[in-house]
Structure 1
Amino acid sequence: MFFEWHGQQPVMLRCIDKYYETYDTVSIKLADCTEPRQFQYKPGQFVTLGISIDGHMEHRAYSISSPSHEPYLQLTIKRVSGGKVSNYIIDTLQVDDKVQVLPPTGRFNCIDCPPTYHKGQAQVLLISAGCGITPVFAMTQHWLNQATPAERPADIVFLHSARSPEATIYYDQLETLDAVYDNFHLQLLLKNRDGTQHTQGRLRESLLQALVPDLRQRSVYLCGPSQFMQDVATYLQALGCDMANVYQESFTPTSHSHANAEHASQTVQVTVPDYAQTINAQPGQLLADVLEEAGLPIVTACRSGICGSCKCRVQHGEVSSLSQETLSEEEIAQGYVLACSATINTDVEVELG
């Protein structure tokens, strides 16, 4: 029996397990509150959690690290300096606690971004650092488990950069996969490799070429800190990779425009008929900011135009969209926008929910 999401509405899930992956990282498992149901999602996607902290609902997006069709969603959360939600999950969230969860979403996944084939076999290179390991770990489990007798299993090179074995998320699981599967090739790059045979050093263009000499025939899935991904993309391009086959997750906030001085004295109106509200705003303001300040129920989890939690429909009027990352062409044609990445140009009428 599969779990059914209710459109884009949040559901309540229960924490059924919580354990440390490293000293500053935990994994939690979320399941249906009533009975076991399998969760379907595209490996690489994420969900947005809603957690009440000090009487205020906070939303954050986290990649799913468990295989699809399990009776739970596993999320792996790393402690962040000043991270209100991440640190609350690590320090305070308990087994049996309930959290709000929005449906899985995200275009960085191995279904919408399928690998190319070389000599009849999918050839993939997964590159990650830090918590960027979570979506590519889910992809790995999918490829290792989904091959049918009629097809050759994907050939996987898994390159992950970390400080040490103790700081490597899923370290034991990765070594097990490397020992069990002939088509899984682990390349751990550690700042301190004491007690292991893994490579020590920092990822550079020459080292990438040495570790993965056939990288030009592989589809690449890249996730990690922003600067890490920028550097790796530069190396891949310099090494002659087809960048059309390079896919990467991005949690970098979109650059937002603000009202210009010449518009300071102008106002526009944002009308939300379903809530009988009309709000005064300035041209250039973010639609999400205006709706939030008015106390309307808009979820802004990433504020980066990535997670899609703030999707709403502009019925009349004009906005400028800085990101349409999670919107389909059909939704864009129907007037849907991401409120956190939409600046207001004229009077607008908005439909929420």
Structure 2
Amino acid sequence: MPWASNTSISLICSKKWFETPDAVSFELEAINDDNSFDFKPGQFTSLGFSIDAEKHYRAYSISSTPNQSKLQFTVKRVPGGLVSNHIVEDLSVGDALEVMEPMGAFNSVECLPKSKVLMISAGCGVTPIMSMVGDWLESRKDIDIEFLHFAKEKQQVIYFDKLEGLDEQHANFNLKLVLENNVGTDYPQGLFDIDKLNAACPDFLERTVYLCGPVGFMEVVRISLDECGFDMDQFHQESFTPTSANDDKLDSNMGLATVSVADFGVELQVDKGSLLLDALEQGGVPVIAACRSGICGSCKCRVKVGQVESTSYETLSEQDRAEGFVLACSSKVTGDVEVGLN
């Protein structure tokens, strides 16, 4: 099923189940439509949920493989997380969701593999990795796959049974788990370090590496690989991670600025250094903000008058930038601005 750019389709939750005590998987499918979904393994999409009569968007990786009639996602509960907790606790079979066009450069089509790959994941970072692996196992029997996953304990390993099943069924798939708490198991214990990597995959220098997990975990892995002489052209990692609205914020003592959106009759004052996205949401402007990290492009808007300070231009073309388009989640208000959503 094709997506039109910058538009969404409505899909229905057809199945939901618990993977771990605090993570659920769910499937989405079209109503009265037998078409399959086309995307690149490893990509994410923005999902829109109706919560208390308001629409909230978040970006989640697709864990299923392309060209199926259903899309699968897995979401872990986040303390205080509005959408993640809604999904775990309240999402029900039959609920309708808005689904945006899949996006993301972290995929097995644009990031081509060698004949041998090493997949490294932790926590929910396993979701895009599973999509890539599933696609390779279905279509490319020649790829040798080492799968290294880190978790706190066995009960927290998402897709545990499926991973063990793949390990038993496919000679070219080799599963390695490392647990912080390995009591009652035969799996190695501890956190990531280069010694554990050597023990799990001695020929990792000969492989293409795909990495996804918490930000701190990915940084440790990246630095470790770089320091040991790994060819970083063969290193690929997921890049969309939620950012705090207060990160690297300009000094609010710089004064106030006016943000206006004429199309919605909005005009409000905010501290200079505030995120443009925060200002738009504060004014009730119906901007979509899914990844909130400058990657998905859903919060694209146009600064008609004034300037902002931007840190990301992902998905924006040179023409977009020349015409004043920015990503609201990655742009700080530095003075009075007039904004439009088109």
1:106 aligns with 2:104: yes
Equivalent of residue 142 in structure 1, options 135, 141, 148: 135
Partner Cα separation in structure 1 for residue 205 and residue 243 of structure 2: 30
Equivalent of residue 258 in structure 1, options 225, 243, 250: 250
Name 1:53's counterpart in structure 2. Answer: 51
Does structure 2 retain, via aligned residues, the 8 Å contact 1:106–1:326? Answer: no
Q: 1:75: Cα distance to partner?
A: 0.5
Aligned pairs (5 A) from 1:166-315: 166-193=155-182, 196-250=185-239, 251-253=241-243, 255-258=247-250, 260-261=252-253, 263-264=254-255, 267-268=257-258, 270-275=259-264, 277=266, 283-315=272-304
* SS of residue matched to 1:69: coil
Distance 1:323 1:161, change over 3 A: same
Identity of aligned residues (%): 45
**Amino acid paired to 2:112:** P
CA RMSD of aligned residues (A): 2.4
Partner Cα separation in structure 1 for residue 318 and residue 108 of structure 2: 20
Deviations 1:68-111 (A, max 9, x none): 11111101011222222112111111111112222212222222
* SS of residue matched to 1:199: coil
Distance 1:5 1:53, change over 3 A: same
- TM-score, normalising length from structure 1? 0.87
Partner Cα separation in structure 1 for residue 189 and residue 53 of structure 2: 46
* SS of residue matched to 2:313: coil
**Amino acid paired to 1:257:** K
**Amino acid paired to 1:327:** L
Deviations 1:159-207 (A, max 9, x none): 0012333321111111121122222121111234456543333322211
Structure 2 unaligned spans of 5+: none
Distance 1:313 1:204, change over 3 A: same
Deviations 1:48-69 (A, max 9, x none): 2221222232222211100011
Partner Cα separation in structure 1 for residue 156 and residue 176 of structure 2: 15
Q: 1:43: Cα distance to partner?
A: 1.4
Partner Cα separation in structure 1 for residue 45 and residue 198 of structure 2: 34
- TM-score, normalising length from structure 2? 0.89
Name 1:13's counterpart in structure 2. Answer: 11
* SS of residue matched to 2:126: helix
Q: 1:323: Cα distance to partner?
A: 1.7
Partner Cα separation in structure 1 for residue 274 and residue 159 of structure 2: 42
Partner Cα separation in structure 1 for residue 311 and residue 65 of structure 2: 32
Structure 1 unaligned spans of 5+: none
1:322 aligns with 2:298: no
Does structure 1 retain, via aligned residues, the 8 Å contact 2:10–2:97? Answer: yes
Q: 1:259: Cα distance to partner?
A: 5.2
Does structure 2 retain, via aligned residues, the 8 Å contact 1:273–1:349? Answer: yes
Partner Cα separation in structure 2 for residue 334 and residue 216 of structure 1: 44
Q: 1:18: Cα distance to partner?
A: 0.5
Does structure 2 retain, via aligned residues, the 8 Å contact 1:256–1:322? Answer: no
Does structure 2 retain, via aligned residues, the 8 Å contact 1:310–1:339? Answer: yes
Name 2:32's counterpart in structure 1. Answer: 34
Q: 1:321: Cα distance to partner?
A: 0.9
Q: 1:318: Cα distance to partner?
A: 2.5
Range with greater deviation from structure 2 (343-352 or 103-112)? 343-352
Does structure 2 retain, via aligned residues, the 8 Å contact 1:106–1:306? Answer: yes
Does structure 2 retain, via aligned residues, the 8 Å contact 1:226–1:252? Answer: no
* SS of residue matched to 1:312: strand
Equivalent of residue 74 in structure 2, options 76, 79, 88: 76
* SS of residue matched to 1:80: coil
Partner Cα separation in structure 1 for residue 70 and residue 108 of structure 2: 20
**Amino acid paired to 1:226:** V
Does structure 1 retain, via aligned residues, the 8 Å contact 2:257–2:334? Answer: no
Partner Cα separation in structure 1 for residue 74 and residue 152 of structure 2: 18
Name 1:127's counterpart in structure 2. Answer: 120
Distance 1:131 1:216, change over 3 A: same
Distance 1:277 1:35, change over 3 A: same
Does structure 2 retain, via aligned residues, the 8 Å contact 1:209–1:239? Answer: no
Q: 1:232: Cα distance to partner?
A: 1.4
Distance 1:185 1:328, change over 3 A: farther
* SS of residue matched to 1:233: helix
Partner Cα separation in structure 1 for residue 283 and residue 155 of structure 2: 46
Q: Report how many residues are paired.
A: 339
Q: 1:141: Cα distance to partner?
A: 1.0
* SS of residue matched to 1:87: helix
Name 2:327's counterpart in structure 1. Answer: 338
Q: 1:329: Cα distance to partner?
A: 4.5
